[in-house]
């Protein structure tokens, strides 16, 4: 989670919402990093999870990320939760819950939907206070 927090801080410094993500392979090595780039790249799909999953798939040379773990500072939205399922990662670890758009238990639970062909293991609330504090500080500064 510390590596994801570093990515989140970089996103915030660039003017994007401070959300960061990393993908770890079976050995625990980082094979993909991502941070929100929606503002920087003018890309509505530029969420940290999508960026990290794309980088990991490129590093592996295939879209199936079986055996991998996605670590992200904020509970994924519906788009990102769908990407988690479609990429076949084995585990999803996230920090803060997102009561407004979370799709891993808060509003929806996309990754545990039994109608889908893949359901990753989920570990929620890892360093949640640190992850939430980055977001709180960012949005407090935006309102000034």
Pick out the residues of the known binding site for Zn(2+). 47, 77, 80
Under 8 Å between Cβ of 109 and 85? no
Write down the catalytic residue from 13, 26, 39, 49.
49
Instruction: Kindly list the strands in the beta sheet with 91-96, ordered across the sheet, starting from the edge strand earlier in the chain.
Output: 30-35, 20-24, 69-74, 91-96, 121-124
Backbone angles phi, psi at 10, to 5 degrees: -65, -40
**Is 49 an active-site residue?**
yes
Q: Which parts are annotated binding residues?
A: 47, 77, 80
* Distance in angstroms (rounded) separating the CA atoms of residues 64 and 67: 9
Which residues are designated catalytic?
49
């Amino acid at each position: 989670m510390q590596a994801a927090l570093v990515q989140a801080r970089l996103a915030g410094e660039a003017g994007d919402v401070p959300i960061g993500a990393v993908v770890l392979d079976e050995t625990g090595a980082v094979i993909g990093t991502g941070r929100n780039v929606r503002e920087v790249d003018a890309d509505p799909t530029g969420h940290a999870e999508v960026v990290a999953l794309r980088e990991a798939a490129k590093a592996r040379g295939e879209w199936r990320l079986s055996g991998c773990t996605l670590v992200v500072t904020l509970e994924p939205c519906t788009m990102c939760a769908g990407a988690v399922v479609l990429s076949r990662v084995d585990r999803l670890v996230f920090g803060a819950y997102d009561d407004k758009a979370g799709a891993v238990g808060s509003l929806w639970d996309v990754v545990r939907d039994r109608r889908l062909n893949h359901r990753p293991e989920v570990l929620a609330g890892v360093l949640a206070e640190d992850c939430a504090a980055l977001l709180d500080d960012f949005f407090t500064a935006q309102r000034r």
